[in-house]
Structure formats: C-alpha cells, structure tokens
C-alpha cells in the first residue's frame, strides 16, 4: 500500500490513533469504537496492514486440514445456528458412528494433511468415551496429525453432563490425543447479546476460563467473534478487549478469527448478512486492537473467497485451511466451495500479492513460498 497521506488519516479522524500506534501505546475501547465509526475503510485498512506487515511482512499462512462435525444433535438453541437439530431423529439430524468418523480420515490416507478440526452439537446422550475414542482412533490412523477438537462450549457441556470439572475433561481428552482447542463458541462476550442469541450455552466467563485452564495445561487455542447481527461497535471492541486481557495473562491464543453471521435457515433470517466493507473493517480493527495475538485469520468459507483475499490487505495474515466437508456455514447458506486444494489457496494468496506459507496448527512452517504449488 506504500505511504498513506497523513492528511487523509487526519481527515478520517485517525491521525492521533496512528501516532498512538507508532508510539506503541495500546488502543482502548473508545479508540476501537472510533475505528468502527470511520467511513474511510481504506484508512483503517492501511493502519491494520501496517501492523500486519510489521509482524509478518507479506507472508500469509494456511494449513491443510479437514473439518469434521461428528453430530449436529444439540440441546442448545442459538438463534444464529442453522446447523443444529435439536433431537436425534429430527429431520436432518445425524450422529456418525466412530467408524464413520474415522473413515473420513482413513479415506484421506494419501493426503499430506496436518490437522483434523472437530466441532459438534451438544449431544445429550452420547457417553464421554465416544469423544475419547474418537480422538484415540484418529491418532491410531494418523499419529502425526494434530487434533484441534471441541470448543470451550463443548468442554463446559461435557463437564456438566458427565459430572467432571472443566480441567478433568481437558486432561482426559488430552490423554486421548487432544492437541489444541478451536476458538468457536465465543460469539459475542457482551452479556446483553449473549443472553439474546446464545442464552442456553456456556457463558462468557466460563468460555474464557476454559481457555485459561487449557493454556495452563499447555494447549494452545484460538478465539472467534461472531459479527454482523445485533451487536454494537462497542460490544465488538469489548469482545476484543476481553480476549486481549486473557492473552496478557496466558499468551495461549494463536489467532483471532472473526466469523461472519450468515442469515439463512436460522431464527435470525430477517437480518441481512454483513457487507464486504463491514467484514474488512472487523478484521482490520481486530488487528489493531489485538496487539498481543499473533495472527488474524479470515475464514474464507464464511467471508467468501474474494473478500478473504482482499482482507489480506486489511490486517489478515491467515486464510485457515483447505477445510474439506464444512457443514456449519453451508447449512446457513454459504455459497463458497467446501474445500480448496493447497494449490488453489496458494494461488489466490499469490494473486493478492502475498506469499503463501503452508503451516501446521502451531504455525510451524510446512512448506514455504519458495515452493511452487
């Protein structure tokens, strides 16, 4: 992007924020709200891109993963969810047998994937052994594959259902092969919104505490934010700041992942989907507020491939993975493909003027930009 005229930043009302960033002073709630209020999205993007390039230069990460949702039966009733079916036997409800789930990995024995990402509905009747066996089976099939499984919401649900502490659940899952936690289930931390859109699953404090415990036990994790529904700019920034505070304490978050709300087939279908501009601004503000989280990821399944590509100039340095067989967003109307090959992802990163780097879940380099995909 080169140098951005100071006069333009000043005109956008962001000159003092640029100075704060230059001086290494942290942005606060009011600063974040002003960034969201700015109508000069290019100025906000330029500031975010500067922070992105300070950390990562042109490097842009992605990984080779599969995503698996073993069941969509769920006792919760989040208003934005198009994936869950409340009871076993409801039309569209499914629960994979362990063999079916393992088969998804077995059938890919020829693929050099590095991660299996599992998230599920909150199934009231499965035994805990279903989950520990699921992990053990994956490790038997591919011992080297990283298992990033179960959101904090699922961990809380397991603890309550099976009469264990959150820490016990985490320890048992780790003993079975769990390597890290995904960031799902964060939605919006502000209680006003959470009460309305996700009233019957684990609350904000418990979500954050489960990540705190996980980090103490040596697991890394991510943190997400569902945006573009009924939340205010202030609630978005508050969400980012709560993640930032925990990160100050533990340092265990690897990436912040904004997730675009999709309005099809759920109870909030009267709302419009977030615009591309809003998506770019959310990722940019996240990069600027979260000075202590290394990566900001655009989940291309949710944003759309073209917007994700553009976001690489708005603070984003990670495009998630190849993501085969994604269901959660496609049941909410996403028209993106369900999977891209590493070659396709690398090509779209290059086309955006960035350098593709295939990483593993912990951001170790698997293949670098030097490799011709």
The least CB distance from residue 124 to ligand SF4, in Å, is: 11
308 binds ligand SF4 (CB under 6 A): no
Q: How far is 191 from 202, CA to CA, in rounded Å?
A: 12
Q: What is d(CA 261, CA 274) in angstroms, rounded to the nearest whole number?
A: 7
Q: Is 81 in the site for ligand SF4 (CB under 6 A)?
A: yes
CA 16 – CA 43 distance, rounded (Å): 13
Number of residues interacting with ligand SF4: please give it, by CB under 6 A. 11
Measured between alpha carbons, how far is residue 43 from residues 3, 121, 276, 287 in Å?
11, 40, 16, 14
CB of 264 vs ligand SF4, minimal distance in Å: 14
Please report whether residue 159 would count as binding ligand SF4 according to CB under 6 A. no
Give the range of 6-14, 75-83, 257-265, 313-321 binding ligand SF4 by CB under 6 A: 75-83
User: From CA 52, how far away is CA 59, in angstroms rounded?
Assistant: 10
- Specify the stretch interacting with ligand SF4 by CB under 6 A; choose among 3-11, 79-87, 255-263, 317-325: 79-87
Q: In the complex, what is the shortest distance from the CB of residue 312 to ligand SF4, in angstroms, rounded to a whole number?
A: 28
The answer to whether residue 182 forms part of the interface with ligand SF4 (CB under 6 A) is no
Among residues 46, 45, 30, 35, the alpha carbon closest in space to that of 13 is found at 35
**Residue of the chain from 74, 145, 273, 282 that contacts ligand SF4 (CB under 6 A):** 74
Site for ligand SF4 contains 150 (CB under 6 A): no
Q: Token pair for residue 187? A: 């939605």
Q: Specify the residue, 185 or 356, whose C-beta has the smaller distance to ligand SF4.
A: 185
- In whole angstroms, how close is the CB of 81 to ligand SF4 at the nearest point? 3
- Beta strand spans in the chain (E): 59-63, 65-68, 115-118, 146-149, 180-181, 220-227, 253-260, 295-296, 318-321, 355-359, 365-367
Look at residue 291 and give its three-state secondary structure: coil
Structure tokens at 114: 């590095």
Selected binder of ligand SF4 within 44, 84, 118, 181 (CB under 6 A): 84
Q: How far is the CB of 101 from ligand SF4 (least distance, A)?
A: 17
* Nearest distance, CB of residue 61 and ligand SF4, angstroms: 26
Residue numbers of the site for ligand SF4 (CB under 6 A)?
74, 76-78, 81, 83-84, 121-122, 153, 201
């Amino acid at each position: 992007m080169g140098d951005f005229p100071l006069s333009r930043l000043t005109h956008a009302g962001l000159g003092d924020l640029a100075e704060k960033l230059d001086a290494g002073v942290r942005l606060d709630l009011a600063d974040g709200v002003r960034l969201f209020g700015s109508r000069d999205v290019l100025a906000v993007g330029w500031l975010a891109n500067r922070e992105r390039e300070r950390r990562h230069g042109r490097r842009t990460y992605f990984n080779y993963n599969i995503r698996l949702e073993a069941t969509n039966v769920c006792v919760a009733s989040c208003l934005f969810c198009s994936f869950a079916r409340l009871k076993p036997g409801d039309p569209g409800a499914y629960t994979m047998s362990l063999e079916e789930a393992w088969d998804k990995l077995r059938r890919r024995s020829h693929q050099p994937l590095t991660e299996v990402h599992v998230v599920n509905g909150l199934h009231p009747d499965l035994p805990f052994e279903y989950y520990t066996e699921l992990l053990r089976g994956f490790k038997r099939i591919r011992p080297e594959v990283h298992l990033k499984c179960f959101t904090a919401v699922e961990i809380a649900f397991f603890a309550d259902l099976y009469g264990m502490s959150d820490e016990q659940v985490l320890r048992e899952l780790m003993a079975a092969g769990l390597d890290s936690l995904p960031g799902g289930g964060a939605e919006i931390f502000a209680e006003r919104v959470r009460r309305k859109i996700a009233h019957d699953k684990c609350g904000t404090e418990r979500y954050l505490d489960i990540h705190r415990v996980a980090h103490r036990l040596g697991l890394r994790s991510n943190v997400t934010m569902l945006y573009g529904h009924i939340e205010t700019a202030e609630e978005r920034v508050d969400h980012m700041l709560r993640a930032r505070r925990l990160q100050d304490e533990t340092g265990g978050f690897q990436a912040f992942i904004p997730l675009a709300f999709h309005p099809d087939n759920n109870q909030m279908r009267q709302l419009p989907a977030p615009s591309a501009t809003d998506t770019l601004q959310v990722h940019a503000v996240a990069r600027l507020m979260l000075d202590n989280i290394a990566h900001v990821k655009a989940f291309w399944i949710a944003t759309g491939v073209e917007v994700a590509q553009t976001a690489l100039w708005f603070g984003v340095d990670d495009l998630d993975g190849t993501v085969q067989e994604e269901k959660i967003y496609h049941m909410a109307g996403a028209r993106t493909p369900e999977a891209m090959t590493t070659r396709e992802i690398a090509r779209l990163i290059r086309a955006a003027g960035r350098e593709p780097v295939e990483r593993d879940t912990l951001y170790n380099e698997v293949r670098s930009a030097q490799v011709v995909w």
